[in-house]
Amino acid sequence: MAAARFLLRSASSKGAISNVNGGVHSCLGITLVKLSPGGTSCSRTQRRHNSHFTFQPDPVPTQYGPTTKMNLFQSVTSALDNTLATDPTAVIFGEDVAFGGVFRCTVGLRDKYGKDRVFNTPLCEQGIVGFGIGVAVAGATAIAEIQFADYIYPAFDQIVNEAAKYRYRSGNLFDCGNLTIRAPWGCVGHGSLYHSQSPEAFFAHCPGIKIVIPRSPVQAKGLLLSCIADQNPCIFFEPKILYRAAVEQVPTEPYTIPLSQADVLQEGSDVTLVAWGTQVHVMREVANMAQEKLGISCELIDLQTILPWDTETVCKSVVKTGRLLISHEAPITGGFAAEISSTVQEECFLNLEAPIARVCGYDTPFPHIFEPFYIPDKWKCFDAVKRMINY
């Protein structure tokens, strides 16, 4: 496990550079990145597939005071900084967080707040989550980091059997509501099996925890601060492909965005599109394509919280549009789209004019070189909209 992670770290930093420079993945090799940021000297066989999404910043939020340009990893740091500043019990820990984290999310925090508040743990995920639960049981605020969502499974027992059930089983004598687990999530262009996963559906079957996934720096900070403040154990998945690629104006002061509330990003009348994380940006493009090529009006919803999810907003939209497309990177069978789909079918049976469509990852492990064919990109989603309209 350690060796694989080591390889990817170098890879992800390269991908991140190319994203910042032009949103295009360049060739393999650090020297090539330096010499030709545009990737023009790459031979045909070495060229990476273009980024599968285009990040679009939201309108600058004005209601929370001054803003600064931040990418997603910087907005996470900002949220953590605000938390450590206002909550003296709060601690941040995980593998390699002390020097700033392998994705730079905790840069500067140890120097600012001390070694006892921002510290490395041994390399052991079940230990990290168990330790975090203990910190929270003692009444302090615990912000644990799992280095990649792919490596959260060793802590599955601590999350599902312990964190999620602590309050219930003790009759509310004890709880670990002050625990937040952050983890980089989703595909990254070349992450292969163990640096690409989207494990939210595994956790969605577990009453007692909250699962939250932001789509942008502004959302990331507001939702992360809500997770930290929430009196339930939360898992916060950070789309790692957006760490550097997504840049927008983010308020520097703390603010919260409510959990369990979906965000209607774009009103429409013909089809409802539901996604979360990076896939929201894919769907935004699909909505534009549908408008341009088919004259179809799409309503775009960012679910934001996977558990407990906002059934009301989604069902209200489907009652209006009569059609629903759900898309996620994770495999289709047992994916969270199945839950949304069956709930909407139950609640909106008389309004549905076509079968609900799910455009998801295939039921395979997440592959390396085949990533462009694996992911539910805009063309796959666009085709699903087309078929749904013609149904």
Partner 1 sequence: MATVRGVRRLFRIGCYATRQNPTSTAPRFLQQREFRVNGVHRQEPFDSSVEKPQFPGASAEFIEQLEFIKPNVIAGIPVYRVMDRQGQIINPSEDPQLSKEAVLNMYQKMTLLNTMDRILYESQRQGRISFYMTNYGEEGTHIGSAAALDPSDLVFGQYREAGVLMYRGFPLDMFMAQCYANCDDLGKGRQMPVHYGSKDLNFVTISSPLATQIPQAAGAAYAFKRENTNRAVICYFGEGAASEGDAHAGFNFSATLECPLIFFCRNNGYAISTPTNEQYRGDGIAARGPGYGMMSIRVDGNDVFAVYNATKEARRRAVAENQPFLIEAMTYRIGHHSTSDDSSAYRSVDEVNYWDKQDHPISRLRHYMNAHSWWSEEDERAWRKKSRKMVMEAFEKAERRLKPKVDLLFSDVYQEMTPNLEKQKDAMWKHVQQYKEHYPVDLFEK
Q: How many residues does the chain have?
A: 391
Nearest residue (CB) to partner 1, 167 versus 221:
167
Residues 6+ apart with CB under 8 A from 88: none
* β-sheet bridge partners, residue 120: 94
Interface with partner 1, residue 139, by CB under 8 A:
yes
Nearest residue (CB) to partner 1, 288 versus 311:
311
Give least dist CB 15 to partner 1, A: 12
The tokens describing 132, both together, are 């975090």
47 CB burial (10 A radius; 0-12, 13-18, 19+): middle
Task: Provide the mask over 180-209, with x wherever binding to partner 1 is found by CB under 8 A and - wherever it is not.
Answer: ---------------------------xx-
Indicate which single residue of 231, 269, 342, 364 sits in contact with partner 1 (rule: CB under 8 A). 231
Interface with partner 1, residue 260, by CB under 8 A:
yes
**Candidate list 95, 125, 248, 371, residue with the active-site label:** 125
Interface with partner 1, residue 158, by CB under 8 A:
yes
Nearest residue (CB) to partner 1, 162 versus 377:
162
Compute the distance between CA of residue 179 and CA of residue 247 in angstroms, rounded to an integer: 28
Indicate which single residue of 70, 79, 91, 360 sits in contact with partner 1 (rule: CB under 8 A). 91
Q: Is 281 a catalytic residue?
A: no
Compute the distance between CA of residue 12 and CA of residue 283 in angstroms, rounded to an integer: 24
DSSP state of 146: -
Q: Is 253 a catalytic residue?
A: no
Backbone angles phi, psi at 161, to 5 degrees: -85, -25
Written as one string, the DSSP assignment of 257-305 is: --TT--EEEE--SSEEEEE-TTHHHHHHHHHHHIIIII---EEEEE--E
The tokens describing 23, both together, are 């949103």
**Which pairing describes strands 142-145 and 263-266: parallel, antiparallel, or unpaired?**
unpaired
Interface with partner 1, residue 334, by CB under 8 A:
no
Compute the distance between CA of residue 347 and CA of residue 137 in angstroms, rounded to an integer: 39
Interface with partner 1, residue 177, by CB under 8 A:
yes
Interface with partner 1, residue 3, by CB under 8 A:
yes
Type of residue numbered 17 = I
Give least dist CB 94 to partner 1, A: 12
Indicate which single residue of 105, 137, 289, 357 sits in contact with partner 1 (rule: CB under 8 A). 137
| Binding positions for partner 1, 7-26, rule CB under 8 A | 9-10, 13, 17
* β-sheet bridge partners, residue 180: 143, 234
Indicate which single residue of 83, 232, 327, 341 sits in contact with partner 1 (rule: CB under 8 A). 232
Compute the distance between CA of residue 109 and CA of residue 129 in angstroms, rounded to an integer: 21
Task: Provide the mask over 347-376, with x wherever binding to partner 1 is found by CB under 8 A and - wherever it is not.
Answer: ------------------------------
**Candidate list 190, 195, 281, 328, residue with the active-site label:** 195
Task: Provide the mask over 97-136, with x wherever binding to partner 1 is found by CB under 8 A and - wherever it is not.
Answer: --x--x-------------x--x-xxxx-xx-xxxxxxxx
Counts of helices then strands in the chain (DSSP H, E): 15, 14
For 329, the enclosing helix (H) or strand (E) is: strand 324-331
Nearest residue (CB) to partner 1, 144 versus 325:
144
What SS3 class is residue 166? Answer: helix
| Binding positions for partner 1, 50-89, rule CB under 8 A | 89
Instruction: Write out the residues near partner 1 by the rule CB under 8 A.
Output: 2-3, 5-6, 9-10, 13, 17, 30, 34, 89, 91, 99, 102, 116, 119, 121-124, 126-127, 129-140, 142, 154, 157-158, 161-162, 165-175, 177, 207-208, 210, 231-232, 260, 308, 311-312
Any idea which residues carry the catalytic annotation? Answer: 125, 195
